[in-house]
Structures are given as structure tokens and as C-alpha cells.
Structure 1
Amino acid sequence: MNSADPVDVRSLVEFLRLCPPLDTLDAERLARAAERATVTSYGTGEVILDAFARPERGLHVVWRGRVSVWTNPDRIRELPAYHLGPTEMFGYVATLLGEAVGPRVEASGQTVVVRLDPDLVDPVFATRHGARLLAREVDMSRRMMVSGAIPTYTLVDDLIVASPLLVEPTTTIAQAAARMEETGLPYVAVRQENGGYGILTDAGIRRAVASALPVTQAVSTAMQGDAPSIRLGASAAEALITVLESHGDVVLVTDRADQLKGAVAARDFVVSSTTAGASLHEQIHRAETVDDLKDRYRSVPGMLTGLMAKGLAPSRVITVHSAIIDAAVRRTIELVAEQYPHLRTDAFTWLSLGSNGRREALLSSDIDAAASFDNALDAAGIAEYQPMFAKVAEVLEQAGLAHDRHGVSPVDPKFARTHADWARAGRDWITAPEADDAVIMTCLLVDGRPIHGDRGLPEVARVFGDLRMHPRTMSMLLAASIAQSSRPTPWRRKKIDLKAQFLVPIANIARWAALSVGSTALPTDQRLLAAGGSAMLNETDAVALADAFDAVQGIRLAWQMEQTTADRTPTDVVRLERLPPVDRAILAEATRVVTNSQRRMGNMARFAMPES
């Protein structure tokens, strides 16, 4: 049973001074809060708070131990959404709203929790850090109230029905088939020396038998070596798109440490209500004519609105959108190429650049792109492709995609070169960063992702792999990332540009930080987390920047959905008075996070950056 403990006010005050945003309280108010606090010990599994059952007035802080937090009342019997440790708070949203909006919190082991009187600590939510905490949690709670609850089967986690079936490479095909029959699973995952996984499915076994491969052979002789995989937390729509794009039957599911957690097959998705994105993806993939493709792509905004209404997180909605853009571009290339039978589509790799290369494109995003050709083609041979690329751009624009208004397109010969020419240009940009467009071109190509042709690492990307060994170039990239002009300044004007003033500065920091640690990650949040804890970007700043990026992307997506619903062209520009107070608080916090991070990186550069 839990028990109320005697309170040592002095020790409690010292502890509360370590808990942001409580550390912003003056000494007198902090002492009064400590005097009226209740300190309670809990054993493993004991319920500390169930704000789904009833709202409770109180602000809770973990003093010792750890707590498990559930944010969805339909998933109480499942794993918790997250854990909190010492100095972290919970319960303040239900207190402030006076609504039963959650969460449910239980002790994970022996835990001590401090309960504070909210009337004494309300002022902390007027601070920037407090506003950030409040905005994030209220926004989540509001979405929960609007949708009732996030529906089950929206995440790939919900679709895993059994523990993973993992075998060694030396297992025979016959033994693998027997294990599949035993468990009723349609696959076996095969452990590989590089830490990855291969996969053998029912269909793979049938193909092996049809090709007269002896079933006494090792499973490694029949498996697919690079198994399609997706991480826990991905949406069901993303997972199904992965299955469809791999032309397979099963996708493996791993955690952040790349440990296998299970798998989902195509048949498992029938229970999910959020796979409309995957359905549209497949419709676009199967479009028989250019007109079919245009018609199908025009339903994308409505599909995105539906995913948001079903409670899918904005970051997941954006990932699904990027996958659909990829499908549209690939199918457009295939359909347009039919009008140019003398040209080979396997002669070039199409690279998505910019936000779509990073899988962060929204409805207003330009679809920046480049083409990398076989080295056998000369300039005249590449020029023959220009009319086809112009037609691709025209079709995409008619479908509703902004296929670059600024010239970052293979239609421009500057963005259509051979593999060798791209690599040569990359080396020139690295060694002479002060040359015209060198920094801009480097930033564009570092974000490049192949979506047609050779899906391996582009040759120019391999050149950038050792960019951190070129301090002069890195210094110029850093200067661009932390320039005063790139800092968000929303409160100086009535209109703000969510992309230019908030997202671009964070994306620039993330790109540079990832390059500085040799990370090949593309999405901004992954780049930040990969670089967090490095000499130039501490872990706290990395997490804060990733949170700010995700939150602003959510505001941007909601704004563009509102514009689309009103039959207006989606833009990134919004008037401040149109935003609710919660969103304004998020933007204020994002401004502070970006500005402070840029300032710290500039100061660190004086000491951490090697001399050129």
C-alpha cells in the first residue's frame, strides 16, 4: 500500500529547485509549496493517478524511482506510452482543464512522488519552459477529447500478434517450414552477421521448391537478404506502404536498438482504420494513364485530413504523405516514359531533394529533384531527356504537386549530370566552399534520396561522407546554420512563415550537426538525435530542437488542412491572430530553443571547430 511520508521541507525545496519549470518560482513561493506538499511512497504497479476516471487537483513530481504513463484509456492493458523519472511532472493538464483527460500513472518499482498544490505553482506556466510543457500536453489532450481516443490498430505495434520467429542462417529450409507450420506464422526472420535480418516467407519457400532447390539447404540460400523493416511507433499506413513498395508479404518490426520485435503481414492490416494512405498509395502505383494519376492524387488532401481526424500524429501523417509523393513521382516517370520509347528509364536515378528527400514534405512543399545518369552518357545524350523531364514536371504540377518553382529540377541541366560528374562537382564544392552556389548545392545534395533507379547511396552522397574532414566547408555550413537572418522572429510582424522562420533554421542545424558526426540520417529529428551529445550539440538542445520541429510541423499541417478544407491554396504563411494561444506558446518556445541553440553552437565553434 502507498504511504504518506514525513516531509523534510528543506530537502524538498532543494529538490524542487532542480525541477524545471518549478525552478523559476521565487524562494518564498517555493518554500510555501514545499510546506503544503504531500510526499508519498508507492510500490510496484500501484496507481498514483488515474485522471481518465476523474480529474484530480494536484501537480505531481517524481522524486525518486520511475513511473509508467498511459495516455490512451483504450490501451491501459498494453505497454505504457512512456516513462518519467526524477524531476519530471505529470497531472497538470487534468488539473488545469478540470477534465478527465488522463493520464493514468503507475509506479515502476519503489517510487516516491511529490504532490503540490496547483494554486501555489500556477505562475510557472507563464514562463517559457512552462508554456512549452503546457502547450504540448494540452494539445495532446485536446486531440484525445476531439477524437474520443486514438483508435486501436493505428500503429504497427497494435498489429503484432506474436513474438518474432527468429532462426539462424544454418537452419534448413525444411526446418524453417516446420517452425512456420508450428507457430502459424507466414515467415521466419534470419539473423545475419551484420546485425540485420533476412526473411523467408511462405511464398519464398514455394519459389525455392519450384526452382528445385533442395529443402536440406540452409535457409540463407533462399531468404531475402535485406528484409523490409519498420520501427515500433510507425503508423499502420507506413507499414503497409513498406510492404507494398517492397513487393513482399511481410514487414519486420524492430525497436530503436534494431532488435526484432515481431512482424506484420498484408493480411494483418484489415483491422486498421488508418490505412487509407496505403490504399491511395497503391491506387497511384497502379494508375494506368496520366489522367488517372492526376485524378487519384487530387484526393490526397482529403486522405490526410482523414488520418488526422482518426488521431494519427502529425509526424506520421507527413511520413505517409511523403511516401505517396514518392509513388506519384515514380509512376509519373513510368507513364511519361511511354511517350519517349527511345529513352531508357534505367539510365538514370531520380533523387528527391529538400523536404521530400528528408520525408518532411507538406502540401505547399516544392518537389525538388535531380537526376544522376550512367557514366556512359555524354552531354548530348542527357539533353535528350530534357523534354521528358519537362513533361514529368508538367504532369506533377497538374496533379497538384509544386514541382519546383525555383529551378531545382532535372529540367535544368545543372541538376542532370552523370554519376561521375556529380561526384566531381561534390568534391569541388567541398574543397572550394566559397565558390558560387557551393554551400547551397551541398545542402541540397546532402538531403538527396533516390526514389527511382538505383536505390543505393548516390555517388555524390558518398563524396559527402567525409565532409567533416573539411573544416573550411564545415565552418561555412555552420555559419549559414546559425546566421542571425535564419533565426525565427515571429513577434515582429503580424504574419509569420512557419517554414522559413521556424522549420528551415532547425533543419539547417540538424543537417550540419549530422554531418559533424558522420550520420547519414535524413529526417530532421533523426539527425538531431544522432548528433545529440556531440561536441557541438548537447543532448538537451537536440531533444528540444526535435520537439520544436515536430510541434511546428504539426501546427503547419493543421493550418494547411484548414486552408484546403476552405478550398484555398495551402501556404506556410499565417496571421498570428488566427492561431490559438496554445500554438502561439509553442512558437514562442520554438523561437527561444532555436535562438539559444544557435548562440551556443556559435560559441562552441570558437573552441571545438578545427582550424582550416
Structure 2
Amino acid sequence: MAKVGKTAPGISDLEARLSRHQPFDSVGRRDLAAIAEATVVETYDPGELILDAFAHHSTDVYVVLTGAVSLWHNLARLDEPPDDQIGPGGVFGYSAMLVERSIGPRAVAARASEVARIDGEAATAAFVSRSGARFLARTALDWSPSPAVVTAGAGLAQDVARAAPLVLDVSATAGQAARAIDADGRGFAAVRRADGRYGLVTDASLRHGIIVEGLPQTTSVVEVLDMSAPIATVDDSPAELLLAMLDRGARFAVVHDRDATLHSVVSLRDLSLTPVGVDVSLHERLRYAPDAESLAARSRRVPDLLGRLVEGGLSASKVIAVNSTIRDAAMRRAIELVFAGHPGLSTDMFTWLSLGSSGRREAVLSSDIDCAASFVEQTDPTTIDACRRAFAEVTAVLGRAGLISDGHGATASREAFSRTTEQWRAAAREWIAAPERNEGAIMISLLVDGRPIYGDRGLSAARTLIGDLRSHRGTLRLLLEDTLAHRAKPRPTRTLLHRRASGFDIKRQAILPLVNIARWAALNAGSAELATTDRLRAAAGSAMMPDSAARNLIDVFDTLQRLRLHYQLMQYADGVDPSDTLTMQLMSPIDRSVIGEAIREIAAAQRRMANVSSFVDSEEWIGSTTS
């Protein structure tokens, strides 16, 4: 290695070279000059080691100026081909700076290369810029403090698969399928469908079709397919397979090759042999907990599970989705256990809806349980009152399991949140007609986040409301005003960076304003999507939500949720009850700057929506659909 030094190319020349690449392209001239002053340019021969951030702690940031650099991100795979190769403009080393630990990568010159090594403190200025925040959102969402653990848990679906599955022709009958599956002994067979993709027929789907529904054995096998089986690809991770199967309550998943041909069928038993098997067993133990005490004890292991999934390489958004899936399982089992103690009450008479973050599948460790119930028509008031008392027992069981609800908030034990289906519809019509009365705007927002998890899964509060809402333009305007009343308030970056001892409520000050934007934009676009990112995608291209704004807000939401989960897991590991109040002193400078940039992005979207509503004819944006 030869050190060229910071004066060889000249400071101004180095500034120009750095400014061509993210995240240095939006740094102010003064900060860029300071970065150049803190930079040493070094040259490397092919095969020469540049950095081993697994073996040595490093807080420097590296930029490839010329040549190419090979990178290894997993400690256990250093003897394998590199995970990545980057050329001019490629940046590495920032992951170690993010967590201030030796987490990689290992970097080796792939050919003669010139690399700029920037002092980490000086480099921070680049990452607090708008471009820097977006760079991190794109490239650093999935870093993990334990690369060796990542390797253990982040294989591919093709690594889980066992022997090739039995394949039946689409012309087979249900009876032929039953005999073939019995002879094969594995309990399933793949069926090539008319669209060229593969479905699954199982012992369970055959029993349901022939015994429960009374279909003749001559029925086409297509009529008895297991519709719960998710379709995955060989590139999906075992954790992703687990998420899809738990979400659908499936025992099997069909795995396709990259060209959509059949690769294999994966079972929960197959997954139990992988490092994510513990997650399967926990979910199953929740589903079949024999009593409330067992349910509580098992539910309290969920934070440990989530931490293992993060260490296993699963992205934060998917870990949060896993958390929501497991919460659903705990709620369903709590309902079953409580109502088993009330033989005079039937669970067939109501549908239980998760509201708020649970309804949107965005719940984290600190999230409350918000819920409602919709009773079938003709349920008598006395029975409804008895069910409300039972619902209070359900929330008490969940509370002992660590899933807390606000007794004075949105909970099914309260009269306002447990009505017959027709009473809900009548109330919704009143809220839509006059959202300013009886907390109508709040109730609309709660209801459109509703997701049925027990009972009639086809019940959709959002779909019920959308048609009526789009015909009430004045209500949409009032809902927008309510959305914009809770503004994200940007702080100057330097204030955010230096107020280290202060607390920051990431939910109230950042996530809720963004969730409200997405909810309103989706309603305005006529979408019944629940997840915040799905709502933003559905509204993208509308008059109020340009494509670029939607993309930025999706990145912002994913980043905020990642940080929220990361710091709540840290709180849990430290023995502190997870909360949305983050202590700035415990956050890295990069994370503080990313939060600051996220708030500015949300505030900009709110300003734009306010300006459009004030200066553009409402005919052009109320009820507008995507282009």
C-alpha cells in the first residue's frame, strides 16, 4: 500500500471527486472541505487487504476512487467468493461506524485501486444530509451486529428443501390424489395448474373436500387444492418462508425455481431443522397453550425471538410482520381460552378486529392492543353485555402476556367498540356525515385500520367505509385537516445531534404523522390497503401524492420502523420496558441524523398536502385516483 496523502491530488480536486458520489453529493462546501481535509488517499495492489473490520475496530469510511474492491459481509464466509464488488464511488466501512463494533466488512483490492479513507467523525456530515439519509435507508437497513449469526439463519429456501415432491397431473381426480398421497407417505402432492404454476393438495385439503363438503371422489383435484399454501421462490430465506406459512396458517409451502418451475415443497417440519425452527415451535406453542398462564409465559419469549430473527438477517419490516403474526396467534388463543370458561357464550356470534398498529401489522414491542368486536345481527343485548365482560377477561389475559391495552381506549370490552354489524354501519354513516361530532374523525381512522383476526375473516371495515367516504367530499376535506393538524416538527440537525440527554418520542413525533398521511391518501384514492407502505403505493401518482413523494415516504417509514425496533430490542436487552421514547445519548450520530432527515421529509409532505388543499381546486384532488 502506498499513502498518497491528502495533498497529492489537492484538496479542491479531492472535493470534486467525492462530490460526484452519494452521500457526498449534497454536502455543503464547508463540510465537504472539512471531509477532504480529514481524508487520506491510499493506493492498493491487486489482492492487498484494505480493511478487516471483523478483526479490528474501525470508525473510518472508505470511498473507492479508482479500481475495484471486493467485499465480504459475513465472517463465516471469508474463504468463499466475495459477497460484493464495488467500483468508483462505492462506499464501505459505514456499518462499523453505525454500531461502533467490529462487524465487517473485509475489503480487498480486486485490482489496482485508489481508495479515500475518511475519518469517521468528519464523514458524519455526509450522512446527515438528505442524500446521506437516503443512502443509508437504501443500503444499511439490514446490517446486523452479529454477522456469524446472520449466516446461520439466512440461508435460502432451496437449502431447506428435501426430496423432490410427488407431482400429479391436473387431470387427476380427488380419489386418485388420495391414493397417490397415501402411497407416497408424505401427506401432500404438487399439482401443475393451468397457468403453469403449481398448487398443493394435502391430506387435510382432501379430507375437507370429500368428508366435510361431501365432494365425490371423481371431483377434479383442482377443486381440493390447499389454498393456504404460500408460493415461495428458491431465493427466499427460511425466515420469509416461516412468515408466509404462519401468516396463512399453512403446513406447507410450494417453492418455485427462478423460472417458475417446481423446485420443492417445504413443510414446517423441514423448517424445524433450520436455525429458525425455534420460531415455529414458539408459534405452535402459542396456538395450543393449555391455559392462560402458559400463554402468558410463552408470549413473554417473543422479544427474544424477534432479536434472534434480526440477528438471523431478516429485515426489520419482516420481523415486525412476524411480531404481528404471533400477536394474532396469542389473541386468538386468549379468546378461545376465555370463552371456554363461558359455555353459555359462543365465539360464532362475533368477529374480533385488531385496530391501530396491530390491524396494520406494524406493531412493535411497545404497541398497545387496540381491538373491536362486530356481532352478528339478532344477537340480543344481554348476550352482548356478557361477551363484553368476557372481552375484558381476554384483554386481562393478554396483559399478563405482555400485550397491554388501554382500558379507556379502543378495546372490545367497551360499548363504543362492540356493536352488531348493522350498528357499526349505522354509526359509520353518522361519522362520515358529521366527522366533527362524537369523535367521528377518530372513529373513522380507527375503523379503517381494522383487520379481522377471529371470526369472519372477510369482514373489512375499510371496504365498508370507502364507498361512502368518496361520495362525501366535505368529509374527506375535514379528515385531511385532522391529518395535517398533527404536524411533524423538524429540529435543526445540530440541535438534534447535541441534545443527547433528551428523549425523543419516535411514534408521536414521526411515525404517527406519517401513518396518518398514508391512511388519508389511501382513503382518498379508494384503496382498502391496511399497511402504511401499501397505502402509500396505492396512492402514488394521485394528485395529492406524487410518485416521488410516495417513494420517499415509504423509505422514511421503513427506516423509522427499523430504528424503532432496533432501540426497543436494546431496551429489552437492558431490562427496560420497551417504549417509543428514545434517549438521544444512546443513539449513534448517524441514527440521530437519519431521524432528523425523516422528520423533514414528513413535514415536507404535510406542507405540500396543505398547499394543494389550499390553492388547488378540490375537484382536482378530492377523491382522485392514481394515474
TM normalised by structure 2 equals 0.75
Q: How does 1:210-229 map onto structure 2 within 5 Å?
A: 217-225=219-227, 227-228=229-230
SS state of the match for residue 535, structure 1?
A: coil
SS state of the match for residue 290, structure 2?
A: coil
Partner Cα separation in structure 1 for residue 393 and residue 425 of structure 2: 27
| Matching residue of 1:101 | 104
- Higher mean displacement: 546-555 or 338-347: 546-555
| Matching residue of 2:47 | none
CA offset at residue 470 of structure 1? Answer: 3.1
Partner Cα separation in structure 2 for residue 532 and residue 115 of structure 1: 42
Partner Cα separation in structure 1 for residue 167 and residue 534 of structure 2: 28
AA aligned opposite 1:285: R
For the pair 1:607 / 2:611, whether they are aligned, the reply is no
Residues 285 and 331, structure 1, Cα contact 8 Å, conserved in 2: yes
Aligned match for 2:335, one of 333, 336, 341: 333
AA aligned opposite 1:304: L
Aligned match for 2:460, one of 447, 458, 461: 458
Q: Which has the higher contact order (CA 8 A, sep 6+)?
A: 2
| Matching residue of 1:555 | 563
For the pair 1:585 / 2:593, whether they are aligned, the reply is yes
- Higher mean displacement: 52-61 or 478-487: 52-61
Aligned match for 2:414, one of 412, 415, 419: 412
Structure 2 unpaired stretches of 5+: 1-12, 42-49, 623-627
CA offset at residue 444 of structure 1? Answer: 0.6
AA aligned opposite 1:295: A
Residues 201 and 249, structure 1, Cα contact 8 Å, conserved in 2: no
Q: Deviation digits for residues 309-368 of structure 1, max 9, x if unmatched? A: 434333222222211211111111111112211111110000000011111112221100
CA offset at residue 302 of structure 1? Answer: 2.8
AA aligned opposite 2:104: V
Partner Cα separation in structure 1 for residue 552 and residue 534 of structure 2: 13
| Matching residue of 1:129 | 130
| Matching residue of 1:596 | 604
Q: Deviation digits for residues 124-178 of structure 1, max 9, x if unmatched? A: 715522442565588568625x333512454664556499999886555548987
Residues 58 and 95, structure 1, Cα contact 8 Å, conserved in 2: no
- Higher mean displacement: 567-576 or 115-124: 115-124
Structure 1 unpaired stretches of 5+: 1-9, 38-48, 108-113
| Matching residue of 2:578 | 570
SS state of the match for residue 619, structure 2?
A: coil
AA aligned opposite 2:518: A
Partner Cα separation in structure 1 for residue 617 and residue 182 of structure 2: 54
Partner Cα separation in structure 2 for residue 287 and residue 586 of structure 1: 41
SS state of the match for residue 543, structure 2?
A: coil
Structure 2 vs 1, CA of residues 477 and 487 (structure 1 numbering), >3 Å: closer, same or farther? farther
Partner Cα separation in structure 1 for residue 77 and residue 316 of structure 2: 20
AA aligned opposite 1:500: R
| Matching residue of 1:529 | 537
Partner Cα separation in structure 2 for residue 371 and residue 98 of structure 1: 48
Residues 239 and 309, structure 2, Cα contact 8 Å, conserved in 1: no
SS state of the match for residue 148, structure 1?
A: helix
Partner Cα separation in structure 2 for residue 258 and residue 119 of structure 1: 46
Residues 23 and 129, structure 2, Cα contact 8 Å, conserved in 1: no
| Matching residue of 2:403 | 401
CA offset at residue 456 of structure 1? Answer: 0.9
For the pair 1:512 / 2:520, whether they are aligned, the reply is yes
CA offset at residue 234 of structure 1? Answer: 7.0
Aligned match for 2:376, one of 363, 367, 374: 374
Partner Cα separation in structure 1 for residue 401 and residue 251 of structure 2: 30
Partner Cα separation in structure 2 for residue 543 and residue 75 of structure 1: 34
| Matching residue of 2:147 | 147
SS state of the match for residue 385, structure 1?
A: helix
| Matching residue of 2:510 | 502
SS state of the match for residue 426, structure 1?
A: helix
Q: How does 1:131-530 map onto structure 2 within 5 Å?
A: 131-133=132-134, 135-136=136-137, 143=144, 146-148=146-148, 150-154=150-154, 157=157, 161=161, 170=171, 172=173, 174=176, 186-189=188-191, 191=193, 199-201=200-202, 204=205, 217-225=219-227, 227-228=229-230, 236-237=238-239, 239-240=241-242, 242-243=244-245, 246=248, 248-252=250-254, 263-458=265-460, 461-465=463-467, 467-483=469-485, 485-487=487-489, 491=496, 494-530=502-538
Residues 191 and 200, structure 2, Cα contact 8 Å, conserved in 1: yes
| Matching residue of 1:59 | 63
Q: How does 1:13-28 map onto structure 2 within 5 Å?
A: 21-24=24-27
Partner Cα separation in structure 2 for residue 185 and residue 51 of structure 1: 49
RMSD between superposed Cα atoms in Å:
5.2
Partner Cα separation in structure 2 for residue 83 and residue 321 of structure 1: 35
Structure 2 vs 1, CA of residues 465 and 279 (structure 1 numbering), >3 Å: closer, same or farther? farther
SS state of the match for residue 376, structure 1?
A: coil
Partner Cα separation in structure 2 for residue 203 and residue 415 of structure 1: 36
- Higher mean displacement: 563-572 or 126-135: 126-135
Partner Cα separation in structure 1 for residue 234 and residue 612 of structure 2: 35
CA offset at residue 587 of structure 1? Answer: 1.0
CA offset at residue 559 of structure 1? Answer: 2.5
Q: Deviation digits for residues 86-139 of structure 1, max 9, x if unmatched? A: 9985546489899893499999xxxxxx98856699587155224425655885
Residues 468 and 518, structure 1, Cα contact 8 Å, conserved in 2: yes
SS state of the match for residue 337, structure 1?
A: helix
Q: Deviation digits for residues 274-323 of structure 1, max 9, x if unmatched? A: 23333212111111112221222222233333333434333222222211
Residues 54 and 103, structure 2, Cα contact 8 Å, conserved in 1: yes
Residues 68 and 105, structure 1, Cα contact 8 Å, conserved in 2: yes
Partner Cα separation in structure 1 for residue 511 and residue 374 of structure 2: 28
Structure 2 vs 1, CA of residues 206 and 411 (structure 1 numbering), >3 Å: closer, same or farther? closer
Residues 232 and 253, structure 1, Cα contact 8 Å, conserved in 2: yes
| Matching residue of 2:546 | 538
Residues 51 and 91, structure 1, Cα contact 8 Å, conserved in 2: no
Partner Cα separation in structure 2 for residue 106 and residue 137 of structure 1: 24
TM normalised by structure 1 equals 0.77
CA offset at residue 463 of structure 1? Answer: 2.7
AA aligned opposite 2:63: L
Partner Cα separation in structure 2 for residue 57 and residue 584 of structure 1: 18
Structure 2 vs 1, CA of residues 540 and 368 (structure 1 numbering), >3 Å: closer, same or farther? same
Percent identity of equivalent pairs: 34
Partner Cα separation in structure 2 for residue 398 and residue 325 of structure 1: 13
Partner Cα separation in structure 1 for residue 78 and residue 544 of structure 2: 40
Partner Cα separation in structure 2 for residue 390 and residue 458 of structure 1: 24
CA offset at residue 243 of structure 1? Answer: 3.6
Structure 2 vs 1, CA of residues 448 and 172 (structure 1 numbering), >3 Å: closer, same or farther? same
Aligned residues: 585
Structure 2 vs 1, CA of residues 52 and 25 (structure 1 numbering), >3 Å: closer, same or farther? same
